[in-house]
Amino acid sequence: MRSDDTTSKPGRLSSLSFPEYRLLWWGGVFAFLSMQTQQIARAWLAWELTGTSTALGGVLVGFGVASLIAIPTGGVLADRFPKRTIIVVAQVLQAASALAIATAVSADVIAYWMLVAASVVQGSAISILGPARLAMTADLVDTDHLTNAIFLGQTSLQMTRVIGPALAGTLIGIETIGIAGVYFIGCGLSLVALLLTFGLPAGAPSRLSTSSPTDDLRDGLQYVRQRPELLRLLSLSFMVVMLGFPYVTFLPVLVADNFGRDASSLGLLSAVAAVGAVASSITLASAGRHRLSPLQTRAGFSFGVFLLVFSFAPSFTTAILVIVGVGASTSAFQALNNSLILSIASVEYHGRVQSLIMLSFTGFGLAALPLGMAADAFGLRHTMSAMAIAVLAVMVAGEVWRRRIEQPSLPSI
């Protein structure tokens, strides 16, 4: 339930004054740190096993397919069952998949298909975790602090993107730890998050549903279709994330092939991107409701521009400098979009709406394979530049759509 012991004006860290939200936030730090360390280990291991961009994309296809099935389910579950139970189940799955890969690497029986299988499990876990976490956020803070709480949740994710990749990249290079050790550490971090989750309230749904899960899902889709701005924001999120965010999948290729560097440099590049993301999240955490829409538009366009410049970075040093902007703009776009969507949607639909937001990452996973194939066929730099141009085109279309919604006399698209 929400705490009512704080009446201070929302500031950059004000949501952390709610004890239960603070517990959710710290649990997220450990859960996200586990995900980030495993992401670097998984990417580097896939590259070592196969040496192709296509294979890197293939790992994410497993994530995308699992998400495509699990995400709608996750939204319905978050609106029907105690959110704490859902989060616990997701964290158990995360810990189990990390332990399985760590054991396989230690026993020297690791195979590429195992990475795909683990990606399926993790995609399923994240797909049910995300809607439940965000819906619980709305339960633990009041309306005035909701935007701030979402930004702080995003900040916790980006903080782990600073620490996780750098830590994983360094540990992979240490012979006594290596990739197996990173996965064991990831398992341990997931277990810490699990222990913190047990201290949360149950997070019972705001209403007791008497309809079937299928009817609940259909009701959620109908709810979105009847609200043009909500539909626009969800569509914009899907296209930008699907077309632009897969750049992170191909960082191992950029680091190893284009710049001739090792896993520690991959960790550094990822960490620097996260520094920009943390900076933007903290800066925007106290943004007023009236500023969210224009800031979101600027963030989307900035992401396209920075990604275009990054795709042609002539040196590792230049790439380091530019990826700060890439990280800042991606984090800002995602958090601002989530805040706008949740501010429009009714509380009883938060779980299902959040699941639709997360469908963006299904597109991310499914697009990674064809983009990887394009990178192998036409070159990584040309593929990434095409991704950036596509993001800019989507943002232009989104602005046209917004203006038509604001002018009812014009036909909507």
Domains (range + CATH), the chain: 14-406 (1.20.1250.20)
- Per-residue confidence (pLDDT) for residue 71, from 0 to 100: 65
- Per-residue confidence (pLDDT) for residue 100, from 0 to 100: 94
- Per-residue confidence (pLDDT) for residue 7, from 0 to 100: 42
- Orientation angle between helical segments 178-197 and 83-106, nearest 10 degrees: 160
C-alpha span between 79 and 60 (Å, rounded): 28
- Per-residue confidence (pLDDT) for residue 149, from 0 to 100: 81
Residue 216's CB is within 10 A of a number of other CB atoms, namely: 21
Candidates 399, 392, 398; CA nearest to 311 is: 392
Contact 351, 78 (CB under 8 A): yes
C-alpha span between 277 and 297 (Å, rounded): 16
DSSP string, 57-106: HHHHHHHHHHHHHHHHHHHHHHHHS-HHHHHHHHHHHHHHHHHHHHHHHH
pTM: 0.67
Rounded mean pLDDT for each run of 10 residues along the chain, 413 residues in total: 45 79 90 85 83 74 71 69 88 92 92 88 81 80 76 73 73 84 93 91 65 66 85 89 84 81 78 78 70 87 95 91 91 81 73 70 72 86 94 95 76 49
C-alpha span between 129 and 198 (Å, rounded): 14
